[in-house]
Amino acid sequence: MNQEKIYTRLPVIQITGLKKSFGSNRVLNNFNIDLREGENLIVLGKSGSGKSVLIKCIIGLILPDEGSIKIFDEEVTDMSHDELDMMRVKVGFLFQSNALYDSMTIRENLEFPLRRHWVGGATDHVTDLVLEALTNVGLEKTIDMKPSELSGGMRKRIALARTLILKPKIILYDEPTAGLDPITGKEISNLMLDVQKKYNTSSIIISHDMSCVKIVANRIAVLIEGMCYAIGTYDELKQSDDIRIKQFFD
């Protein structure tokens, strides 16, 4: 994707001066970033550097101490519970552990967000949407299975299908290839790229996996000491002489 085109697009998420501490541990310290329409933005950082906290602040699961998070120009930190629910229809979240409900079948897992966010549909229509989401990830045959019967890669695809079922405009991925073998990781990365092209979604992706980063990234933000230390394309950052950036690419 042409970088000039990305910078001219409207921001869908604007984060300004974000701060979050847990006790004496300051995780985010004046973090600023924009996510532009239709781009895949990778957030790169060491374990425990606050990447997951960042996207949980965006979706409203964690309340930041200071700063502003705007999604489609609406301030998330001031939202009531009902407003957050409305916002979450537009923003999907893929959890690192997939977070599929063990006690439910795949069909019930996918129906759950549909029935919760949108109650007006007939049963046939709900089934159609579930099948469409499963077809998108190539797992329509698993509809009546339980999550425990699936492999790690299949569970990740189902979790992605559940994220996609509400057709969100923005997707937040928390380490989508963590714990997967390189081949399955590459399949998931390509699937994320397909999703971006098919639905024109904008995504923030937390990842350590440089092969995934190389496939899906339009821009990369490096998170060090709670701040956005550097931002640029894969090639720009790879050529950097800064040792703190280089360590991610070596």
Partner 1 sequence: MQSKAFESFLFEIGNLSAFIGRFFREVFHPKYEFEELLNQCFFIGNRSLVLVCATGLIIGLVITIQSHPSMEAFGTESWLPSVVSVSLVREIVPVITALICAGKIGSGIGAELGSMKVTEQIDAMEVSGTNPFKYLIVTRVVATVLMLPLLVVLGDTVALVGAYFGVNIHEVVSVNLFCNQVFEKLTFGDIMPSIIKSFFFGFAISIIGCYKGYNTKNGTQGVGRAANSSVVLSIFVVFIIDLIAAQITDIMNIL
Quick one: 93 or 173, whose CB is closer to partner 1? 93
Q: How far apart are CA 43 and CA 48, in angstroms?
A: 13
- Specify the long-range contacts of residues 98-103, CB closer than 8 Å, at least 24 apart: 98/147, 98/155, 98/156, 98/158, 98/159, 99/159, 100/147, 100/155, 100/158, 100/159, 100/162, 101/147, 102/146, 102/147, 102/148
Contacting positions for partner 1 (CB under 8 A): 56, 59, 61, 81, 85, 88-89, 93, 95-102, 112-113, 116-117
The token pair at 75 is: 């301030």
Quick one: 90 or 186, whose CB is closer to partner 1? 90
- What's the min distance (Å) between Cβ of 84 and partner 1? 9
Quick one: 93 or 248, whose CB is closer to partner 1? 93
Which stretches does DSSP call E strand in 72-176?
74-75, 91-94, 170-174
- What's the min distance (Å) between Cβ of 160 and partner 1? 13
Quick one: 119 or 183, whose CB is closer to partner 1? 119
- What's the min distance (Å) between Cβ of 127 and partner 1? 18
- What's the min distance (Å) between Cβ of 141 and partner 1? 23
